[in-house]
Amino acid sequence: MTTAMTPVQRKVTRPRADALRNRERIVTAAREMFVEFGPDVPLDEIARRAGVGNATLYRNFPDRDALVREVVVSVMDRTAEAAEQALAETGDAFAALERFVHVSADERISALCPMISSTFDQFHPDLEASRERVEQLIDEIMERARRAGQLRTDVGVGDLMVAVAQLSRPPAGTGCLSADRFVHRHLQLFLDGLRAPARSVLPGTAATMEDLRQP
């Protein structure tokens, strides 16, 4: 006679708080060192700056690609969250746009994103999801600012991202961080130039993100 077996209820294990803190320390240290030295910085050095052992780093990130991907995703997610928070707090689309631009500079998004454009898998689902979230959010905020008469009508998301990239670098590993003190000043000059009414006629047409992806 066969006796029916009662399914064993397995307890779902969750990462311990200290494990989550270690992971965050690794990502923070990696972001800092990728900006300072470029994507080829030794992983052992990242572990040392994070204050964790090599085994802990590799337990969280089995290879360099996984770590770079997590760093870039976390940066894009934080910039999107900053814009969303500004919009929720103020209801002001242009203020949300300003918050996104300045936080992007602080997070070094312009120095980190090129790391996934060649040697790393830029089509990884995690990267695509974060990238789409940022692009859609900023496109919606810019459209809302246009409708409110705050934003000139002849600029697109591509124009914004090109300017942020150009004004908030130096590129990773160049050692030109002394220019940092000018970044937010020049970004604010650029943002003031986005306000409506436009003071000039721009050559060409508004750039989209698809334009930027063309070779």
Give the global pTM. 0.78
Q: Distance between CA 126 and CA 138 in Å, rounded?
A: 19
pLDDT of residue 177: 52
Is pLDDT at 160 greater than 70 in this prediction? yes
Is pLDDT at 3 greater than 60 in this prediction? no
Q: Distance between CA 60 and CA 31 in Å, rounded?
A: 15
Average pLDDT of the residues of the chain: 83
Instruction: Please state whether 4 falls in left (phi above 0), alpha (psi between -120 and 50) or beta.
Output: beta
- Smallest Cα–Cα separation from 142: which of 98, 205, 107? 98
Is pLDDT at 188 greater than 70 in this prediction? yes
What does the pLDDT average to over 122-130? 85
151 φ, ψ (degrees, to nearest 5)? -115, 135
